[in-house]
Structure 1
Amino acid sequence: MEYTHLGRTGLRVSRLCLGTMNFGPHTEEADAHQIMDVAHEQGINFFDTANIYGFSAGKGRTEQIIGNWFAQGGDRRERTVLATKVYADMGDWPNDGKLSALNIRRAVEASLKRLRTDYIDLYQMHHIDRATPWEEIWQAMEVLVAQGKILYVGSSNFAGWHIARAQEAARARNFLGLSSEQSLYNLLERSVELEVLPAAEHYGLGVIPWSPLHSGLLGGVLRKESEGVRRTSGRAAEMLAAKREQIQAYEDFAAELGHEPGDIALAWLLTRPAVTAPIVGPRTLEQLHAALRSLELTLDQKTLDRLDEIFPGHRPAPEAYAW
């Protein structure tokens, strides 16, 4: 396993991050524990979750599953760089969500209890809260750092200018501010190249891409459909209909290279500037092993150029749309 620093921090994390969103609603607890054990065996030390995960199994259920795994001992907690998130409404009362100082305080205590730990390595804001001033947010985060309940702060789904505002507000307080940004980023969705990636690079944030296979559309979906092992629905089906020609060209190119499409998609992300670790969210142990193959794959410049032809990217703003 290769390791890298999370942005400008001294924290070292694996080049793949284990996403846990499937734990609970789609993956039973015993199977989730096995996946986490194998992830450690393979050198993955970076785990990502959120207080809202669990969904149909109950909000917070995923954190509980991870907490029960930590409770088994064997240095499971000590060997894990644990990332979770705050923002989502966890109840129906007015202050049960978003990024007020009150909710941040309550949410971190609830996450610590479910996770059965006394600190969170990376505490991420799951979305921008346009109604709460940065002075309030940073004051709340500073208190948690001083108390030792969190070590680093990250963002998720922020625009480039949100990152800039956050960092300038933190600088005024002599606070480290954001260490990472978790964004939707893959070959099919490259909008973050306009401003989010340049902002992250400028401020020294590590980028953690979520949905690296874009809901499975970059994982050989057309072949799987023809074999009768997968059917797409909802937004994934709409995207497949709109991008079918590109996806077919991509799968044909992957076949030429002799690699699985999903392996190429993950390996491509690992070549991107500012990217620390794509999040892989396996439902099964087999899916985890498949994701690990990407670490053995090296893409040459000819391959990268062909991928850009199939899935054109963006120049940074404003050059992307102005002289």
Structure 2
Amino acid sequence: MEYTSLGRTGLSVSRLCLGTMNFGPLTDEADSHAIMDSALQEGINFFDTANVYGWGENKGRTEEIIGSWFAKGGGRREQTVLATKLYGAMPGPGGEEWPNRGKLSALNIRRACDASLKRLGTDYIDVYQMHHVDRATPWDEVWQAMEVLVAQGKILYTGSSNFAGWHIATAQAAAERRGYLGLVAEQSLYNLLARTVELEVLPSAQHHGLGVIPWSPLQGGLLGGVLRKAGEKGGRSADRAEKLTAAQRDQLQAYEDFCDKLGHEPGTVALAWLLHQPAVTAPIVGPRTAGQLTTALAALEVTLDADALARLDEIFPGHRTAPEDYAW
């Protein structure tokens, strides 16, 4: 397994990040534990979750599953770089939603962190991430609350998710005024089909020294060979293929044909492409099964040469940062 630094930190993380969103809703506890064991055995040390995962009435369930896995011992917690998130509203006493149970007020940051630590069965979080920006809370309030958590030893670093480029810049400027490290990583939607972050988010992250952790690297399965699978199996893939526009179908057909030429599975190529992008630290892979984890690991062995990367840019045109993106 290849490792890299997470942004401008001394933290070494694997080039793939294990996403746990499916643990609970789609993958039961025993299978979730098996997937995490397999990931750790393969050298994946970077795990991502969120307090709201589990969804609906089961918010927090995913963190609980990770906590029960840590409780098995064997160095599981010590070997894992753990990232979780806050922002989404969590139920209060009695199960109903109460004020100050979501977003980024100082009160909710304190409350959400303590609740996540309890569910996760650990006394610290390596990377505590803001799931979204909170336009109503001043950055000095956010950073003061995060500084307290660092001083208490409850978190080591802070990160963001789904931030715009100017959100990153504003957050970092406020942190710098306070003499605080600020953000060390940004999670963004980024894949061959979704490349708008190349305009502002990636340049801002690189300028400020943030690691980039792409989520949905297969765009919900569209880059995983959806046309081929629709022909083979029907079901979910057939439903997705049916909803494609003619332009999307042509684009994905060209992509799948090119993957055949390369001799690799489409999902493997999509992940490998992200690993070739200089801003990217580790794409998030969210396997529902052990087999899907094995498929994701294959991307680490794929090298795309300049011609292959150029062909992928032809099929899925990307962006350059301003002003080049707008040049005639």
Name the counterpart of 2:136. Answer: 131
Deviation at 1:317, TM superposition (A): 2.2
State yes or no: 1:246 paired with 2:246. Answer: no
Measured at CA, do residues 319 and 234 of structure 1 come closer, stay the same or move farther in structure 2, by a change above 3 Å?
farther
Q: Deviations over 1:68-108 (max 9, x none)?
A: 00000000000000000000011211111000000000000
Q: Please tell me the residue identity of whatever aligns with 1:212.
A: P
Deviation at 1:202, TM superposition (A): 0.3
Aligned residues: 323
Conserved 8 A contact 2:227-2:241: no
Q: Please tell me the residue identity of whatever aligns with 2:2.
A: E
State yes or no: 1:60 paired with 2:60. Answer: yes
Q: Deviations over 1:207-228 (max 9, x none)?
A: 0000000000000000000012
Name the counterpart of 1:47. Answer: 47
Alpha-carbon separation, structure 2, partners of 1:16 and 1:164: 26
| Local SS of the residue matching 1:77 | helix
Measured at CA, do residues 237 and 150 of structure 1 come closer, stay the same or move farther in structure 2, by a change above 3 Å?
farther
Candidates 285, 290, 294, aligned match of 1:285: 290
Alpha-carbon separation, structure 2, partners of 1:35 and 1:310: 33
Measured at CA, do residues 226 and 87 of structure 1 come closer, stay the same or move farther in structure 2, by a change above 3 Å?
same
* Length-normalised TM-score, structure 2: 0.96
State yes or no: 1:99 paired with 2:125. Answer: no
Deviation at 1:242, TM superposition (A): 5.3
Conserved 8 A contact 1:8-1:204: yes
Q: Deviations over 1:8-33 (max 9, x none)?
A: 11100000000000000000000000
Candidates 209, 215, 221, aligned match of 2:214: 209
Measured at CA, do residues 184 and 299 of structure 1 come closer, stay the same or move farther in structure 2, by a change above 3 Å?
same
Measured at CA, do residues 5 and 149 of structure 1 come closer, stay the same or move farther in structure 2, by a change above 3 Å?
same
| Local SS of the residue matching 2:186 | strand
Name the counterpart of 1:84. Answer: 84
Measured at CA, do residues 226 and 237 of structure 1 come closer, stay the same or move farther in structure 2, by a change above 3 Å?
closer
Alpha-carbon separation, structure 2, partners of 1:9 and 1:43: 20
Measured at CA, do residues 62 and 233 of structure 1 come closer, stay the same or move farther in structure 2, by a change above 3 Å?
farther
Alpha-carbon separation, structure 1, partners of 2:256 and 2:204: 32
Measured at CA, do residues 262 and 164 of structure 1 come closer, stay the same or move farther in structure 2, by a change above 3 Å?
same
Alpha-carbon separation, structure 1, partners of 2:33 and 2:242: 31
Measured at CA, do residues 150 and 74 of structure 1 come closer, stay the same or move farther in structure 2, by a change above 3 Å?
same
Deviation at 1:279, TM superposition (A): 0.2
Alpha-carbon separation, structure 2, partners of 1:318 and 1:82: 37
Alpha-carbon separation, structure 1, partners of 2:182 and 2:123: 21
Alpha-carbon separation, structure 2, partners of 1:13 and 1:236: 35
Alpha-carbon separation, structure 1, partners of 2:237 and 2:19: 21
* Length-normalised TM-score, structure 1: 0.97
Conserved 8 A contact 2:227-2:237: no
Q: What percentage of residue pairs aligned between the two structures are identical?
A: 74
Alpha-carbon separation, structure 1, partners of 2:66 and 2:242: 32
Structure 1 stretch displaced more, 202-211 or 85-94: 85-94
Name the counterpart of 2:33. Answer: 33
Alpha-carbon separation, structure 2, partners of 1:293 and 1:175: 38
Measured at CA, do residues 57 and 216 of structure 1 come closer, stay the same or move farther in structure 2, by a change above 3 Å?
farther
Conserved 8 A contact 2:230-2:241: no
Q: Please tell me the residue identity of whatever aligns with 1:73.
A: G
Alpha-carbon separation, structure 1, partners of 2:26 and 2:145: 34
Name the counterpart of 1:307. Answer: 312
Conserved 8 A contact 1:7-1:274: no
Conserved 8 A contact 1:122-1:154: yes
| Local SS of the residue matching 2:127 | strand
Measured at CA, do residues 298 and 123 of structure 1 come closer, stay the same or move farther in structure 2, by a change above 3 Å?
same
Structure 1 stretch displaced more, 234-243 or 249-258: 234-243
Deviation at 1:232, TM superposition (A): 4.4
Name the counterpart of 1:71. Answer: 71
Q: Please tell me the residue identity of whatever aligns with 2:10.
A: G
Alpha-carbon separation, structure 2, partners of 1:239 and 1:76: 42
Deviation at 1:273, TM superposition (A): 1.7
Alpha-carbon separation, structure 1, partners of 2:252 and 2:78: 41
Matches within 5 A, 1:152-163: 152-163=157-168
Measured at CA, do residues 211 and 109 of structure 1 come closer, stay the same or move farther in structure 2, by a change above 3 Å?
same
Q: Which 4+ stretches in 1 moved above 3 angstroms?
A: 232-242
State yes or no: 1:109 paired with 2:114. Answer: yes
